[in-house]
Amino acid sequence: MRGADAVIAIHVDSTLPLGKVWVNSGWASAAVDDFDGLLIGTGGHGASPHEGTDPVFMLGQVLNALYGIRARRINPAEPGILSVGIVRGGDATNVIPAEVRVAGTLRSYSAKVRELLISETERAFTVARTLGGDYRLKIERGYPAGWNDERVAGWMGAVAGEYLGADCRDNSPAGLGAEDFSYMGQQAPGAMLMLGAAIDDGVLRAHHTPIFDIDEGCLPLGSAILAETAVRFLKGQVKL
């Protein structure tokens, strides 16, 4: 990236109709941080729960605290989300496990919300200690939030409009997906265009679902938009 003047990228969007694009300026992708926690009890026999500490019981209270972060700790006008993706514990119906794993993802735009999500996640896990147990928690910081430069986004939007028509632009708010392209956008003015790739049959094939699929007719369109935007910059027809 050293010496780069600008950077552009495209990401397919399986929920956006073929022939549509999203390339607004401003926030384009979220910062992402992952948490992986272990709730620790003593476990025991299911017939004698009073003789030990139960991490499954702790789990219910910790989940309430985790999901309360968005509702009660984050300014409702600022984007930010916590989603649990893994809950795992136990091997037998009559055995209280000694440990339960809870893991998920944190998404945000602003640095303030990002730090608050991280600190409040830690605080939510401390509920386990209040209930007689313990916890271990690892938070792994991931990609930073991505920002579309107004000028660069304008170049790509103009090219897309010429290829796909003046009404091709989708102006929905940005989502909280995350992209490592955000690192490049920190080094040079950049923009990522979301390329409509939905199959036109009324079935929602969202990303990261078992039925994800795209209309591959979007691929030459995306290639053309990238190439033409780059050519115009190299020819000096668009400038920073």
pLDDT at residue 23, as a whole number = 97
Alpha carbons within 13 angstroms on the beta-carbon side of residue 179 total 25
At residue 162, φ and ψ (nearest 5 deg) are: -70, -35
Q: What is the rounded CA–CA span in Å between residue 238 and residue 180?
A: 25
Q: Which domains does the chain have, with CATH numbers?
A: 7-30+145-234 (3.40.630.10), 31-141 (3.30.70.360)
Nearest to 69 by CA among 111, 114, 32: 114
Q: What is the rounded CA–CA span in Å between residue 159 and residue 154?
A: 9
Q: Has this prediction a pTM greater than 0.85?
A: yes
Please give the chain's pLDDT, 240 residues, in tens: 899 999 999 999 999 999 999 999 999 999 999 999 999 999 999 999 999 999 999 999 999 999 999 999 999 999 999 999 999 999 999 999 999 999 999 999 999 999 999 999 999 999 999 999 999 999 999 999 999 999 999 999 999 999 999 999 999 999 999 999 999 999 999 999 999 999 999 999 999 999 999 999 999 999 999 999 999 999 999 999
Three-state helix/strand/coil letters over 31-63? EEEEEEEEEECCCEECCCHHHCCCHHHHHHHHH
For residues 187 and 1, is the Cβ–Cβ distance under 8 A? yes
Rounded to the nearest 10°, the torsion over CA 193, 196, 197, 200 is 180
